[in-house]
Structure formats: structure tokens, C-alpha cells
Structure 1
Amino acid sequence: MRLNDKVVVITGASSGIGRATALAFAAKGAAVVLGARGHEALEETVRECVRRGGRAVAVPTDVSDAHAVQRLAGQAAARFSGVDVWVNCAAVTLFGPFDQVPLEDFRRVLDVNIMGYVHGARAALPHLRHRGGGILVNVSSIAGAVAQPYAHAYTMSKHAIQALGSSLRQELRLQGADGVGGVKVCTVMPAVIDTPLFQHAANRTGRQVRAMPPVYSAERVARAVVGLVRRPRREVVVGPMGRFLVAQARLAPGLTEKMMAGQVERSHLAHEEPAEATHGNLYEPAPGPGSVRGGWHGRRKTAVRRALAAAAVVGTVTAARRVLR
């Protein structure tokens, strides 16, 4: 499918996966309409998209504001006469013990990560229907299938995104709007990705938050999103470890919970690096020009060893279950 005549709206486009996705579509010649809170980072993303060969426009947008998201959709339709692809990607996160995180911070994560996607879907679907079909992509996480400690609000939000996608697909089917050339709803579930998400996180743990290996590139997720325009699928897990963990959670949920708890405690939070409490970027965007990457690569050897060890454990569990049958 040709992408140089497509109009793509992306929220959370100023950094991380959203920015990488904008650049990937721009490199294919698509027109990209970019929404995010950080004006400077958003404008820098526009410049990078133009350098890649795409057409790009920035529309400062807080996805928790339904009117702002409707304005984003309206700007796309006014500037480029429609919307073909909508990518919900804006997200924030919060780390901390369940009974110690401020409730207003907890609500803010849910408001951005869940209601932001609801606002995006409600803004996008009428335009996609008017266009005669299109793609709605919700960027979730493997946290939508495999929960983690200390990240309750984020994990809840990603589970909700999985449910939102499933419900929308069913409703479109009942309406007869999901057939050939119709509206497709796709959910992308990345594993741990090298983005600034962890530097931008609200943190009440007293410890520095680190990306938990193995860490994959944001460009890898962007390629998956672009691929969905050519071949829509219900759900796509990005990263071998992500696929492994999702499969393991279905096979042995209790074991997965135990392993994930230990992995987060050992690898996600740095015992030797104390950190002051912070709201991160929950209420204000991170300053500066933004970036795709967070600088978390370089931990692959340890990650591979852990992955192989985990695979051995799951292989043992699988074999045991077969024997019990």
C-alpha cells in the first residue's frame, strides 16, 4: 500500500515511540499531524519529519482535554482534507508503593493514558468512516498483559487499552464497518523500549527508575505501526522478550507474577541510586527539544542471559504440564 497519500495523526509525537512513528511515516512521504504538549519538542519533530521527506504540522495538544483532541482532528481534516490513520501514543507513568502515591497523580495517569485514548478514538472514528475506512492504532504495552509492581496506574491503563481495542473491534463488526476497506482497530504491545519515558516518570519509590532489559529501539515499534497500515492485525507484540512474556503469562500466570516481581525489584529500580520524589511530566511537559531515545541501550548481554534463563524455566513448566495431561 502506498503511504505517500496518507494522512496520519499521532499523539504523544514529541518524544519516544510517538516521535519515531512520526519520522517513519514521514520517511514514506505521508502527511503527519502531530499532537503533544511540549511546543519546542513538537516543532523539532516537525522539522525532522520535513527533512525525512514528509509533510508535517504541529498541533499542541493535551490528550486529557477532549476539546483539544477534537481540535487536533479538525486541524488534520482542514489541512489535508481527512484522516487515514490515527495513532494514540501519548502516555505518562508513575512509580511508587501503592499506598504512598498521591491519588491525584494516580488519577492523572489514568486520565492521560485511558481517557486520552478514548478522546482520540472518538475524534478519529468519524473521520475514518467519512474517508471510507482507515486504521486506528492504540499503542499499549506488554504491561497490558503482564502486570508489574510499583506501576499500578500505568499497568491498569495498559490493560484498559487492550479492552478498549477489543470492544471497538466488536462494535465495528456489529455495525458492519470493519469489512474490506473498513475501519480497523489495532493494538501494539511493545516490550521495554529505549525512550525517555523512565526519565520523565513520576517517582515515589525513593530509587532511580531504569529501563528493565532487554531494551528495544523505538524505531522497531514504529516499523510495526507502519506495517499495520499495510496489513492490519488485532494485536502485535513488539520485541522477542515481549512475545515470550505474553505467552508465559497465558501459560503460567502465577509463575509469571513471581518472576516479574523479582525482575522489577532487581532491575527496574536502582537500590544504589536514591531519588527524590517527583511529579515527572504528569502535569507539565518535559522541557527542551525532546528525543526518540532515552539512552538505555548497552545492557543487552545481561538481558540475553536473563532471557535464556527465563526461557529454560518456562520450558520446564511446559514439559511438566504436558506430563500432567
Structure 2
Amino acid sequence: MRLVLAARSTASLETVAEECRAKGAQALVVPTDVSVDEQVVALRDAAVERYGRIDVWVGAASVFSYGAFEDTPAEVFRHQIEANLMGQVSSARAVLPVFRSQGSGVLVFVASIYSRVTSPYASGYVTSKFGLLGFAESLGQELKGSGISVCSVLPATIDTPIYQHAANFTGQRIHPIPPIVGPDRVARAIVRVSSSPRRSVVVGRTQASLIALHELLPAVYHRTVRPAMHLVAMRKGEVEPNPGNVFEPGTATNAVTGGWRWPAAVRLAPFAVLAAVAGAALRRRR
């Protein structure tokens, strides 16, 4: 396995690289901020110089912010678009000439379940992920028959430090919406689509049902999502407004997992409450 690892934090990249090398992989570290076009091009060039080709490009960079739209600074909202969407657009623009010259390649975008459903207090992230899925599908249509595949992986709630890293303008501590899926499942999904490309795949079967609720019963979804966010996501503790890792990497909490997974009975309880609220709303509608 020959890898090129890219992120903003050199220290974190070196840690990951050592773990990969210990498992027998070759790993090249290239510190990169995907919101800077020149750095994305330098990443591509470093990969080609070291290994001669690029078989799979995984675009997984994301920054997150919680808060009402009117409370979120414009620069925080904008940088989510720059990193989460335009960073992936820049990646595609950089790698496609390499794929074209090879006659093959797989471009994997790590989107989100928020590419298909919405939520209050996360408008910048939702906007970026809706845009990313639309871009991926349009690009895939253009590249049909070229030997180049475009795949989107849509994780639900994953146990990573993204919630500790997120900018926060709610005034309250943020908790992920259960059920919470292990990051290894997302990694396996990326590997699968890299070898057997699919247009899109959702990771997290339970929350995938929210897509159907959003599309088939939009009034019920919109009636329940805001109370669910208040009940589960924003509770316990006060937090000063802060930009999280939107502009600078938060290396202190970098890890594979965020420590959010609880025993099944505990982590499913809030989701059961959400289902009950949705059911009650549906009965009222009928």
C-alpha cells in the first residue's frame, strides 16, 4: 500500500504516517490546506513525483460549525464552503489531468448524510455538503465512459473528534445525534468504493432512514428536527463562542475517535425519543 497523507497539522500527519508504516504501508506526508489551490496542486505533484501515478484520491477534508445562521460570523460560514466544497472542487481539478493521462482513477468524496437531509444550527456545513454531492454527481455524469469513477461516501453520526473541533456559537456544549457509528466503518466504505466504485453509499443504516423521512414526509421531518437538536445535540454546559478548528487545526484533540460511543441502551434512547416525536407528529397530520 502506497499512501500520501494530507492535512493541515504536520504533527498529526507524522503520527498517522508512523502507524501506517508500522502496518507495512509506504506513507508520504504532505501538509496541505485544501482551501488553498496552490497547496492542492503541490500535493498532487508530490504524489506523482514519489509514486509515478495516482490510483485513488480521497477528499475527506471538513470543518464544522454549530450556531444559528445569524450568530455565525460570515468568515466562519464562508470558510466551511471553501474547505468542504471548494477544497474538493480544487482536488478534482488537480487530479483529473493525472487520471486522464492514465486512463483510469477513482475520486472519492467524503460527503455526509447532511448532503441529503437538513438541520438547524448547522447551515454552513449543510450547504457545503449539499453542494459537494451535487458537484460529485454532475462530475460523475460528465466522466461516464472515461475510465474515471466519482464516488460519494455519506457518513451519518461518526465517533470522531469533529464535535470537539467544531466552531460553536450556540452557547451550549454540542453532543452528536445518536446512534453513533465507529469510524472504521467509514474507512471500510472508502476502501470498498475505491476498488468497486459506486455513485454513493450511506454509512449508518439507522440514520439513513432520515433520508426517506426527509423526502417522503417533509412536513414531519421539519416539525421534529429542531426539537430533536435542542433535546439531544445542545445540552449541558455553557460554552463561549469560538471558531474551533475552522481556521487552524486543533491538534490537542486529534484522534481516531472522539469517545462518543456509549452502551447501546444509552445511545439509542434519544433516537427513540426522536422517533416517538416523529410518530406523534405523523399521527397529528393524519
Q: Same fold by TM (over 0.5)?
A: yes
**Equivalent residue for 2:179?**
214
**Equivalent residue for 1:252?**
217
Answer yes or no: is the 8 Å Cα contact 2:152–2:199 preserved in 1: yes
Answer yes or no: is the 8 Å Cα contact 2:223–2:281 preserved in 1: no
Distance 2:23 2:275 in 1: 40
TM-score, normalised by the number of residues in structure 2: 0.93
**Equivalent residue for 2:245?**
281
Report the secondary structure of 1:188's partner residue. Answer: strand
Count residues with an aligned counterpart: 286
The CA deviation string for residues 196-236 of structure 1, in whole angstroms up to 9 with x for no partner, is: 10101111111111112111111110000101022211110
TM-score, normalised by the number of residues in structure 1: 0.83
Superposed CA RMSD in Å reads 2.2
Distance 1:55 1:229 in 2: 18
Counterpart residue type for residue 42 of structure 2: R
Distance 1:299 1:143 in 2: 25
Flag the 1:316–1:233 CA change in 2: closer, same or farther, 3 A: farther
Task: Indicate yes or no: 2:129 matched with 1:164.
Answer: no
Cα offset, 1:239, TM superposition: 0.6
Report the secondary structure of 1:36's partner residue. Answer: coil
Task: Indicate yes or no: 2:239 matched with 1:268.
Answer: no
Cα offset, 1:314, TM superposition: 7.2
Flag the 1:103–1:316 CA change in 2: closer, same or farther, 3 A: closer
Q: State the identity %.
A: 39
Query: After the TM superposition, which residues 23-172 of structure 1 pair with which residues of structure 2 at under 5 Å, given as runs?
Result: 30-172=1-143
Report the secondary structure of 1:99's partner residue. Answer: helix
**Equivalent residue for 2:257?**
293
Q: Which runs of 5+ in 2 are unaligned?
A: none
Counterpart residue type for residue 244 of structure 1: S
Query: Which has the larger displacement, 89-98 or 288-297?
Result: 288-297
Q: Which runs of 5+ in 1 are unaligned?
A: 1-29
Distance 1:278 1:66 in 2: 26
Flag the 1:158–1:299 CA change in 2: closer, same or farther, 3 A: farther
Distance 1:52 1:41 in 2: 17
Distance 1:41 1:155 in 2: 27
Distance 2:63 2:263 in 1: 24
Cα offset, 1:319, TM superposition: 11
Flag the 1:278–1:76 CA change in 2: closer, same or farther, 3 A: same
Answer yes or no: is the 8 Å Cα contact 2:34–2:90 preserved in 1: yes
Distance 1:46 1:288 in 2: 18
Answer yes or no: is the 8 Å Cα contact 2:232–2:270 preserved in 1: no
Cα offset, 1:315, TM superposition: 8.2
Report the secondary structure of 1:61's partner residue. Answer: coil
